[in-house]
Amino acid sequence: MLIAILHYSKPPVIGGVERVIGEQAAALRLQGHEVEILTKAEWHMAQWDAVIVHNVFTMPFDLVWTKKLIELTRSRPDIRWINWVHDVRWSEQVPLAVHVAVSEFRRLEYAQIVQQPVHVIPNGCDANAVLGLTERVRELNLEHAGLVLLQPTRFVRRKNIELGLRVLAELPNALYIVTAAPDPHQADGMKYFRELKHLAKELGVTSRVLFLGEKSTLTDNDVRSLYHMADLLFLPSTVEGYGLPLIEGALHGVPVFCSHIPAHREVAVGATFFKLTASPKGLARKIKANAAVQTRQSQRQMMVRLSWSRIVQEMLEPLLSGRMAP
């Protein structure tokens, strides 16, 4: 479809609606549509299949333009007009259009003014861009995982990665991410890595444990992106001299579950400590019940719910094509 998106200003102007229309246009283009974002100065009639009007019908900063567009909705019914309502500050005239409100609250407000149905389509969010996720982490699609445990560590026995695998076996919808690669110069590191892979197979969790450094080294930005997407840091070391991930986790606001050892007790801020003798089943139960972990899961679920690709495919395209009644 040939689609115009109208607003008073557009990116790179900074603003909430400007950001929405930029991301909306990008998502529509990914679905194969031809899209132009136009302001009043750029507006021109063309063979538009659809015109999505953001706020111009209901916030008339330029009342003359608003009225002209409303007249066009009546004289050009061949165009699919979408009235995308962020705010309602003027309603003396109502366009002949499909009405879309960005929230149920706004729908109820606008429904008092119009006779036609008002659909609710939330503004999406390009979470990958907001979080600055690297391409490598984006490709993992971690927003769709049930639970994401992160252990940024090397393959050294004192890191106790096997405990993480046993906890993973008690969390059937979880992913366990270990960032480093085995050091080929340390024979025991390679041996330990092989033992971990064998244990993962025995436990039936091979497909749910990601040894990300196995094929290529992660960048610092990759690790930062993983902190953004993790539901918790899991650090079960038997011995540490310090514990830098505890600091990084705290700065990123990631819930931390770590072993009750002296260095961790000294460094950690707001962590949940566990004894090295704790059972994997008990640890799994505490992880699932942790409120901060649940909040992180909800944040990733929000990424899916408000992804522009989902909103465009499931909610906007049916309105544009007329598959959903106006």
Task: Give the per-residue pLDDT at 323.
Answer: 59
Of the candidates 32, 79, 104, 66, the residue with the CA atom closest to the CA atom of residue 326: 79
Q: Provide the CA 153 distance to its chain's centre, in angstroms.
A: 25
The position carrying tokens 């996720």 is 133
CA dihedral 314, 319, 321, 324 (to 10 degrees): 90
Task: Give the per-residue pLDDT at 98.
Answer: 96
Mean pLDDT value of segment 1-10: 97
Q: What is the pLDDT of residues 167-203, one digit of tens each?
A: 999 999 999 999 987 766 777 888 999 999 999 999 9
Own/partner long-range contacts of 38-42 (Cβ < 8 Å, ≥24 apart): 38/4, 38/5, 38/6, 38/10, 39/6, 39/7, 39/8, 39/9, 39/10, 40/8, 40/65
Give the mean pLDDT of the chain. Answer: 94
**Domains detected in the chain:** 2-125+306-321 (3.40.50.2000), 129-304 (3.40.50.2000)
